[in-house]
Amino acid sequence: MQIGQSILVALEMLRLHKLRAFLTMLGVIIGVMSVTIIVMVGNGFQAYMSDQFKGFGADTIYVFFDPGRRMRESMGSVEGLTMNDVEFLRERVAGLEFVSPLAQGGTEKVSFGDQTVDNASTRGVDESFFILNSFKLHEGRNVAEKDIDELANVCVIGEELRDRLFPDKQALGKWISMRGITLEVIGVLKKSDAFGDSNARHIYMPLSTFHKKYMGGNKLMMISMKPKAGVVVEDAMNRVWEAMMLRSGNKRLYRVDSNESILATINGVLDGAKVLLAAIAALSLLVGGIGIMNIMLVSVTERTKEIGLRKAVGAPAKSVLTQFLVESGTLSLVGGLIGMGIAWSLGLVVTALTAASNWPAAGGLATPFPLYSALAAAGFSALIGMVFGLYPALSAAKLDPIVALRRE
């Protein structure tokens, strides 16, 4: 009952001294707002990263040729990933459902009739590539095993290439030309974006055609793998790593990653950044606490006669202490709630602006309101107010009623 009455008194004081109360709460408002918006944006980026990796499949494993500076002098005859590495992994590593090589060319000028595109990117793939990357067809079909066996002059193109080369959007069965090769379009992919990279201007041809008719050699950019159902990704990664170390004679020439491990690393970095930034932002809560202590000391001075009168008619020191603690806590809590409201509004603005610019992906950056984190921040702000209001409250509780009543 006493605490409820103290809260009502505190709210009445806020109403009577609006500007003073607002300036007092400003530090708390900024602190809670900053912590909340940091958590919101951080959670938004984590959700974005998770969505991006979902497109590839969390269990996809990658092998890259990455010897580092110190290993380059002792590489021997190893110059990069080749088709021999693909066959080695298929033979040596049990539990893999797919082992898919990827070769990457440069950008090419591609043409159909009088229509040209100067910056098309070329890729050599096998039939498993499209499954591992969850690419969806707009029309036609993907590269098949038969195309690879026959060194077929066929390709699957991105949606943007189709629109620019074929204004009527009738691409299937047409032949496109680029440096040294002509390819029949057998499929068109739906646009897929990942980390700023899009397949919209890519040309995917059979890997055998890429190596023997287009680029030459047998070099690969990377090898993608997917474990069979029931195989733990980390176990599969360890087997792949052991096989590649055997392949290189125990030289660290290769890097083995999975979408799962990459996402865990990124989330760890984002979590650390959120905690650090939130801790820095929380410093303004301490500044707000000092402001609350100052205004509560002023309030004790202004209400000295009131305190003396209450104690003279029998109010115990504990009652006076409780009243001023509740007032300081209420002052800080209201500031925290205002900060939460501002953060929620800013989150809506961020979502709207990023959606309008389609950054970092279509639909913008979602910034869901972190209710539990925001309530924790508001509760912490109330605690800060009570901690910093403790000294003024003790000062009020210790006042001698006779001295208080005589003070002008």
Q: How many domains does the chain have?
A: 2
Residues 16 and 162 in one domain: no
Share of the chain above pLDDT 90, in %: 37
Among the listed ranges 45-59, 277-291, 323-337, which one has the minimum average pLDDT value? 45-59
The DSSP symbol for 360 reads S
- The 10s digit of each residue's pLDDT in 299-319 is 888 888 888 888 888 888 888
In a domain, 109, yes or no: yes
Residues 292 and 145 in one domain: no
Q: Name the domain boundary from 229, 252, 275.
A: 252
Collect all residues with Cβ–Cβ distance below 8 Å to 287 and sequence separation of at least 6.
27, 31
Among the listed ranges 78-82, 118-122, 270-274, which one has the minimum average pLDDT value? 78-82
Collect all residues with Cβ–Cβ distance below 8 Å to 70 and sequence separation of at least 6.
none
Residues 88 and 213 in one domain: yes
Enter the tokens of residue 170.
């009738």
In a domain, 81, yes or no: yes
Residues 238 and 95 in one domain: yes
The span from the CA of 15 to the CA of 73, in Å, is 75
In a domain, 8, yes or no: yes
Higher pLDDT, 360 or 119: 119
Q: Name the domain boundary from 223, 252, 281.
A: 252
- Mean pLDDT, the chain, rounded, equals 86
In a domain, 59, yes or no: no
Residues 88 and 199 in one domain: yes
In a domain, 128, yes or no: yes
pLDDT at position 318 = 87
| β-bridge partners, 115 | 112
Helix, strand, coil % over all residues of the chain, rounded to 5: 60, 20, 25
Q: Name the domain boundary from 222, 252, 282.
A: 252
Q: What is the DSSP string of 33-75?
A: HHHHHHHHHHHHHHHHHHHHHHHH-TT-EEEEE--HHHHHTT-
| Three-state DSSP class for residue 227 | strand
Domain that holds residue 167: 67-252
Residues 91 and 187 in one domain: yes
Flag whether pLDDT at 375 surpasses 80.
Answer: no
User: How sure is the predictor about 220, in pLDDT bands with cuts at 50, 70 and 90?
Assistant: very high
| Three-state DSSP class for residue 318 | helix
The DSSP symbol for 128 reads T
Higher pLDDT, 215 or 259: 215
Flag whether pLDDT at 364 surpasses 50.
Answer: yes
Among the listed ranges 132-136, 187-191, 238-242, which one has the minimum average pLDDT value? 132-136
Residues 41 and 109 in one domain: no
In a domain, 275, yes or no: yes
Residues 276 and 365 in one domain: yes
| Three-state DSSP class for residue 335 | helix
The verdict on pTM exceeding 0.75 is no
Residues 376 and 273 in one domain: yes
Residues 174 and 292 in one domain: no
In a domain, 155, yes or no: yes
Averaged pLDDT, 154-162: 95
Enter the tokens of residue 383.
């605690």
Which residue in 91, 127, 108 sits closest to 207, CA to CA? 127
Residues 267 and 388 in one domain: yes
Q: What is the DSSP string of 135-177?
A: --EEEE----HHHHHTT--EEEEEHHHHHHH-TT---TT-EEE
Q: Which of 182-186, 291-295, 311-315 has the highest mean pLDDT?
A: 182-186
Averaged pLDDT, 278-298: 83
Residues 171 and 281 in one domain: no
In a domain, 246, yes or no: yes
Flag whether pLDDT at 69 surpasses 60.
Answer: no
Flag whether pLDDT at 1 surpasses 50.
Answer: no
Max distance between CA atoms of the chain, in angstroms, equals 106
